[in-house]
Amino acid sequence: MRRSSTANVRRKSIYERLDWFQKEAVDFAIHKGSCALYMEQGTGKTWVSFGLVEKLLSDDFEGLVVGLLNNLETTWWDQIQREFPHLNVTRDWEEYKKLPKPKLLLCHYEYLVKHIKKLARRKWTMILVDESQRIKNRASNASRAMRQLRYQSEHKYVLSGTPDDGDPIHYWAQFRFFAPEVFGDVWSDFDSDYLLPTGYMGYKRKFDTRKKKRFDKLIQPWIKVVGNEVLSLKPPRHVRVMIEMPEHVRQRYELMEQHLVFQLKEEILAAQLPITKTVKLQQIVSGFIYDEDHNTHRFSSFRTRRLRALVERHRNEQMVIFCKYVPEMEDVERTCRKMGLRVAVLRGGRKHKKIKPQLQRDFQAGLYDVAIVQLKSGVGIDLYSASIAIFYSTGHSSIDFQQAKARVYRRGQQGEVVYYYLVVKNSIDEDIQLALKEKRSVSKSILTRLKARLTGETSWPNPRRKKLLPPPKRHRPPTSRSSVSRSSPKRSASSRPRSA
């Protein structure tokens, strides 16, 4: 009897299923032993992580993966058990000790800090840090915990799509974990070599731009940069939807902006700190405000009305709407349901984290018309079946902003992505949009420069280029103090003649 042809079909390995740029990343990481893979959002760095696990997997394998709780509970927990059925995976340290090899521990950053003393006693086959921007602050608990693991494995990897906020200082703490031999693990050494004092009395630090070339040369062998241009997607369009603020809202906005107070019917709310003022101003331009007991007071729907017109224009297309605050999400959900649209809502909290995988599958299958997502809750979810993304509001975090945009503009997207930004004229919305744009341009330029140096190109000026001569110095006429030697010490304040 002739056998069916499907019986001889071998399931492809993860490495064989990867795209060419993902294979290059895996090969680079395996060859280096320890490195940083800075891959822009949507290029599939999680699959690169799976490729690394596959390459290093053996009967004695012991792996540690550190990442965001959202990602570990959804993408990692479900997918890695499906791809590696013989690998024992757990999220609990006590259970991990009892499991037979090969085994893998999934550990979020808060759990890492709590159990670091136990984790640091063990030798690991591989330590992988996902979303490594969480350890860029050298003084954070997570960064200090990762420092204790810097000698506990020969294969240490950090992965991120947003490794910095435009400041090269952020790379030091990441290198302290996976390659301490580059800059050392003593902050004062890096401070004296690459930083300059700034701020009040010089307590803050800024990167010395004169050291950029030397800095790039040192980190170049350790970094693999993958931009989203490898996806061959159509360039996205960005549209700012300007909104006029009604007069009664403008009066309340200016009262908060100038006098730090907001008038309610029965009480007056006051902003005690500048940061509180910023938060309140952003709430006002969305037509609501929180009181001291965190109760919501709505006083205008002008922003929602503009959103309704925008949603109506794309009624026949799937779309994702991002919001910062829960009252905004409630207003948007109410508006969309009145329009007869099928709505899915994803907020923070453990309840919504559990439904994230099912929500993603249903949305990708076309069971929903609109997905309303809170900005910080969208990490680890793919919504690329939609090509329309509307930012009802945004926060100041460039990292959260880029993560949200990448939910739609990523591997698998077939259409042209259009980003809409609702911006209230002459308000804090314009300031936030400008800040996010500047942070993105700086971060993008850093990744571009690093990638250029990896390919042997240079992003520095041509040394053969003729330099402009400085303007001639003007001759100053001699003064009465010209005869005094410059090396002579100044007289103290007590010895100077006082005016009568």
Report whether pLDDT(214) > 60.
Answer: yes
Q: Which pLDDT score, from 0 to 100, does residue 477 have?
A: 52
Both tokens assigned to 187: 């902050």
Residue 348 — pLDDT band, cuts 50, 70, 90?
A: confident
Three-class secondary structure of residue 125 per DSSP: coil
pLDDT mean over 23-29: 97
Copy the structure tokens of residue 12: 């492809």
pLDDT of 441 reads 47
Model pLDDT, residue 275: 75
CA dist 137 and 165 (Å) reads 11
3-state SS assignment for residue 457: coil
Write the DSSP assignment of 389-453 as a string of letters: EEES---S-HHHHHHHHTTTSSTT--S--EEEEEEETTSHHHHHHHHHHHHHHHHHHHHHHHHHH
- Bridge partners of 63? 104, 126
Q: Is the pLDDT reported for residue 470 higher than 60?
A: no
What the block records as the tokens of 220 is: 């170049």
As a whole-number percent, the residues of the chain with pLDDT over 90 amount to: 58
Is the pLDDT score of 8 beyond 70? no
Q: What pLDDT does 440 receive?
A: 55
pLDDT at res. 461? 39
CA atoms within 13 A on the CB side of 360: 17
Any idea what DSSP says for residue 473?
A: P
CA distance 450 to 303: 41
Which residues are CB-neighbours of 124 under 8 A, at least 6 positions away? 62, 63, 64, 149, 152, 153
Residue range 107-132, pLDDT digits in tens? 999 999 999 999 999 999 999 999 99
Task: Name the one residue in this structure whose structure tokens are 């009040």.
Answer: 200
**Both structure tokens of 165:** 């906020």
Average pLDDT value for residue range 376-390: 87
Mean pLDDT within 417-436 = 91
Show Cβ contacts of residue 79 under 8 Å, excluding neighbours closer than 6 positions.
46, 50
The rounded distance, in Å, linking the Cα atoms of 311 and 386 is 13
Check residue 487 and give its pLDDT. 43
Check whether 465 has a pLDDT greater than 50.
no
Mean pLDDT of 338-345: 95
- Predicted local confidence at residue 399, as pLDDT: 76
- H or E segment and range at residue 170: helix 170-178
Render pLDDT for 73-98 as a digit per residue (tens, 0 to 9).
777 888 898 999 999 999 999 999 99
> In this predicted structure, what is the pLDDT of residue 272?
72
* Residue type, position 302, single letter: F
Q: What does the pLDDT read at residue 448?
A: 57
* 158 pLDDT above the threshold of 90: yes
Q: Which residue has the higher pLDDT, 362 or 273?
A: 362
Average pLDDT, the chain: 84
- The rounded distance, in Å, linking the Cα atoms of 173 and 183 is 10
Reported pTM: 0.71
Q: In this structure, are residues 131 and 160 in contact, taking their beta carbons and an 8 Å threshold? A: yes
Cβ burial, residue 357 (10 Å; 0-12/13-18/19+): middle
**Which range (44-48, 83-87, 395-399) has the least confidence?**
395-399
Average pLDDT of the residues in 374-403: 87
Band (273; pLDDT cuts 50, 70, 90)? confident
Please indicate whether residue 3 or residue 286 has the higher confidence score (pLDDT): 286
Asked if residue 483 has pLDDT above 80, the reply is: no
Does 414 have pLDDT greater than 70?
yes
Tokens 């997607």 label which residue?
Answer: 233
| CA–CA separation, 432 and 396 (whole Å) | 6
Q: Taking residues 159-173, report their average pLDDT.
A: 85
Handedness of CA 286, 292, 295, 299 (dihedral sign): negative
Measured CA to CA in angstroms, residue 251 lies from 248, 272, 285 at distances of 5, 20, 11
How large is the average pLDDT for residues 201-219? 91
| Average pLDDT of span 210-227 | 93
The answer, yes or no, to whether residue 24 has pLDDT greater than 80, is yes
279 pLDDT above the threshold of 60:
yes
pLDDT of amino acid 452: 62
Cα–Cα distance list, 454 to 10, 16, 28, 176, 221 (Å): 36, 25, 12, 21, 8
pLDDT at 463: 36
CB 303 within 8 A of CB 310: no
DSSP string, 215-251: HHHHHGGGEEEE-GGGG-PPPPEEEEEEEPPPHHHHH
Angle at CA of residue 313, ends 308 and 319, nearest 5° = 80
Taking Cα atoms as reference points, which of 281, 322, 282, 288 lies closest to residue 409? 322
CA distance 92 to 102: 16
d(CA 271, CA 283): 13
User: Identity (one letter) of the amino acid at 76?
Assistant: W
Higher local confidence (pLDDT), 366 or 454: 366
Task: Please report the pLDDT score of residue 78 as a whole number.
Answer: 81
**Per-residue pLDDT averaged across 18-35, rounded?**
96
164 band by pLDDT with thresholds 50, 70 and 90: confident
Contact present, 421 and 433 (Cβ < 8 Å): yes
